[in-house]
Amino acid sequence: MRGRRRGNGRPAPQVEETPREVLGVPARLEVPAFPSYNPPTRAKIELGRHLFYEKRLSANQTQSCASCHVQEMAFADGKRTPAGSTGQTLVRNSQGLQNVAYFSTLTWAHNGMLELEDQLPVPIRNDNPVELGVTDGVREEVLARFDGDPLYKRLFAEAFPESDGATVEKIIFALASFSRTMVSADSPFDRYAAGDKSALDERQRRGLALFNSERFECFHCHNGTNLTISYRDESTTPATITFPFFNNGLYNVGGDGSYPPHDQGLYNLTLDPDDRGLFRPPSLRNVAVTAPYMHDGSIETLREVVEHYAAGGRVIATGPFAGDGRTSPLKSGLIRGFGATDEEIDDVIAFLESLTDRTFIENPKFSNPFVGAGP
Ligand code: HEC
Ligand code: HEC
For the chain, which residues make up each domain, given as ranges?
19-184+359-366, 188-356
Ligand 1 atom nearest to CA at 103? 27
Ligand 1: which of 53, 80, 95 to mutate, judged by most atoms within 8 Å of the beta carbon? 95
Ligand 2: which of 212, 285, 305 to mutate, judged by most atoms within 8 Å of the beta carbon? 305
Ligand 1: distance of its center to the CA of 89 in Å? 13
Closest ligand to Cα 310:
2
Position 263 scores a pLDDT of: 97
Closest ligand to Cα 335:
2
- Environment class of 220 (CB within 10 Å of its CB; exposed 0-12, middle 13-18, buried 19+): middle
Ligand 2: distance of its center to the CA of 127 in Å? 30
Position 374 scores a pLDDT of: 42
- Residues 58, 62, 67, 72, CA torsion sign: positive
Alpha helices of the chain — where are they, by DSSP H? 19-23, 42-52, 65-68, 116-119, 121-125, 136-147, 150-159, 168-180, 188-193, 202-211, 267-270, 302-311, 342-353, 358-361
Position 339 scores a pLDDT of: 98
How many residues are present in the chain?
A: 375
Which CATH architecture does the domain made up of 19-184+359-366 adopt? Orthogonal Bundle (1.10)
CA nearest ligand 2 atom 3, residue: 221
Position 16 scores a pLDDT of: 86
More confident residue, 280 or 128: 280
pLDDT tens-place string over residues 55-114: 999 999 999 999 999 999 999 999 999 999 999 999 999 999 999 999 999 999 999 999
| pLDDT category of residue 341 using cuts at 50, 70 and 90 | very high
pLDDT tens-place string over residues 228-278: 999 999 999 999 999 999 999 999 999 999 999 999 999 999 999 999 999
How far is Cα 345 from Cα 53, in angstroms, rounded to an integer? 38
Closest ligand to Cα 91:
1
What's at 238, amino acid-wise?
P
| pLDDT category of residue 371 using cuts at 50, 70 and 90 | confident
Helix or strand run (H / E) with residue 157? helix 150-159
Ligand 1: distance of its center to the CA of 336 in Å? 31
pLDDT tens-place string over residues 140-161: 999 999 999 999 999 999 999 9
- Compute the mean pLDDT over every residue in the chain, rounded to the nearest whole number: 95
Ligand 1: distance of its center to the CA of 123 in Å? 6
Closest ligand to Cα 94:
1
CATH of 188-356, picked from 1.10.8.60, 3.40.630.10, 2.60.120.460, 1.10.760.10, is: 1.10.760.10
The backbone torsions φ and ψ at residue 115, rounded to the nearest 5 degrees and listed phi first, read -120, 150
Residues 6+ apart with CB under 8 A from 317: none
Q: How far is CA 90 from the centre of its chain?
A: 16
Q: What is the pTM of this model?
A: 0.95
**Least-confidence region, from 2-16, 116-130, 164-178:** 2-16
Position 375 scores a pLDDT of: 43
Same topology, domains 19-184+359-366 and 188-356? Answer is: yes
Position 40 scores a pLDDT of: 98
